[in-house]
């Protein structure tokens, strides 16, 4: 895929600089998508990555329920092997484009005593060397995926998890406030989100890029809200997609394992080590956890009526005629 770098307009550029206070983060507009400048170093390796038909990919925009979906998918595919599931989810289900997010060599130079996971420096080749079956997480838009995935040359399982835009915006704000020491107001962040100035944005282009692929038999499109409202049904749907049959007892067991309360207390899945690492790199005055509340409709109490209307109008404009709703 040819990479074309474009300029942000001056207003958006100024807003990005106002909100972010991270010396290891530099954004560019790449093929219409806000990406880390570091992505350019890995674009060829990502484009030419050798996909395997028995891979399982979980794709999303950040803070859409990715970790929850990863744990569900891994448990189903591995016959509810909770003992092996005590291994960190980041080992069982690595983040494909992790090294393309930040300038890790510069981070290490500035923080010589810091301990990072080895795949952070080159996650693409790290994933390439894993034995099959590989479970792979990515936040890349569909058009940034490896060529063999985009063209259908390889047909691994792809599960996309989407979440209401307002709740995604709020959840991501609280997470980035802790890990990136965000400046400015919540309203500034919302404006950045609406304008596609948050990494992997614009939001709706990301979601619709995968929504358009749902007709493919190797693609499953899930919604966070459905998981919250009827988790057993989503588990069964995902199991069928993965070619697995669960007994009534297994379904009950996995539903309990995937409850927000259980996930928040599960050290293999709650990503607290990541929070500590990011706070070492970019100290922040804000405190919080990776799994904060897991609730739906947070926007009702956290957004102003004016901001809610702006998000709703933006959503209506982008979803008109697509068949997708939240």
CB 93 within 8 A of CB 74: yes
Q: What is the pLDDT of residues 27-47, one digit of tens each?
A: 999 999 999 989 999 999 999
Q: Domain locations in the chain? A: 5-319
Q: What is the pLDDT of residues 62-109, one digit of tens each?
A: 999 999 999 999 999 999 999 999 999 999 999 999 999 877 666 766
Q: How far is CA 40 from CA 4, 47, 48, in A?
A: 10, 11, 14
Q: Which of 139, 174, 257, 276 is catalytic?
A: 139
Q: What percent of the chain has pLDDT over 90?
A: 72
Q: How far is CA 156 from CA 36, 61, 194, 259, 265, in A?
A: 27, 20, 32, 27, 31
CB 284 within 8 A of CB 273: no
CB 123 within 8 A of CB 95: yes
* CB proximity list for 43: less than 8 A, separation 6 or greater: 1, 3, 100
- Both ends of the chain: CA-CA distance in Å? 32
Q: pTM of the prediction? A: 0.90
| pLDDT value at 121 more than 70 | yes
Q: What is the pLDDT of residues 261-301, one digit of tens each?
A: 888 787 777 656 655 555 555 655 555 554 555 677 788 88
For the chain, the average pLDDT equals: 90
Cα distance between residue 81 and residue 135, in whole Å: 15
Torsion from C-alpha of 63, 122, 84, 66, nearest 10 degrees: 10
| pLDDT value at 181 more than 90 | no
Give yes or no: 139 in active site: yes
* CB proximity list for 274: less than 8 A, separation 6 or greater: 90, 179, 290
DSSP 73-126: HHHHHTTT-TTGGGS-HHHHS-BTTGGGTS-HHHHHHH-TT----GGGT-HHHH
Assigned fold of 5-319 = Rossmann fold (3.40.50)
């Amino acid at each position: 895929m040819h990479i074309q770098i474009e300029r942000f307009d001056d207003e958006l550029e100024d807003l990005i600089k106002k909100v972010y206070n991270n010396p290891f983060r530099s954004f560019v507009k790449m093929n219409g998508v806000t990406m880390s400048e570091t992505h350019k170093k890995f674009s060829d390796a990502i484009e030419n990555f050798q996909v395997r038909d028995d891979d399982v990919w979980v794709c999303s925009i950040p803070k859409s329920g990715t970790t929850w979906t990863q744990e569900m998918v891994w448990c189903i595919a591995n016959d509810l092997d909770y003992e092996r599931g005590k291994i960190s989810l980041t080992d069982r289900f690595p983040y494909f484009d992790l090294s393309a997010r930040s300038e890790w060599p510069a981070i290490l130079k500035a923080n010589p005593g810091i301990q990072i996971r080895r795949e952070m420096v080159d996650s693409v080749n790290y994933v390439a060397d894993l034995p099959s079956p590989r479970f792979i997480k990515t936040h890349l838009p569909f058009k940034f995926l490896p060529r063999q995935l985009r063209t259908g040359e390889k047909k691994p399982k792809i599960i996309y998890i989407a979440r209401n835009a307002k709740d995604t915006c709020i959840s991501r704000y609280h997470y980035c406030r802790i890990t990136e020491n965000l400046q400015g107001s919540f309203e500034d962040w919302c404006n950045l989100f609406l304008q596609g100035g948050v990494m992997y944005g614009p939001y709706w282009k990301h979601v619709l890029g995968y929504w358009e692929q749902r007709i493919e038999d190797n693609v499953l499109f899930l919604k966070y809200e459905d998981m919250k409202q009827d988790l057993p049904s989503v588990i069964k749907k995902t199991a069928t997609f993965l070619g697995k049959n669960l007994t009534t007892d297994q379904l009950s067991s996995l539903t309990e394992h995937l409850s927000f309360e259980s996930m928040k207390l599960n050290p293999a899945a709650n990503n607290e080590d990541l929070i500590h690492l990011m706070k070492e790199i970019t100290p922040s005055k804000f405190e919080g956890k990776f799994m904060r509340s897991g609730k739906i409709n947070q926007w009702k109490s956290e957004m102003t009526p004016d901001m809610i209307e702006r998000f709703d109008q933006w959503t209506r404009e982008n979803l008109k005629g697509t068949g997708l709703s939240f």
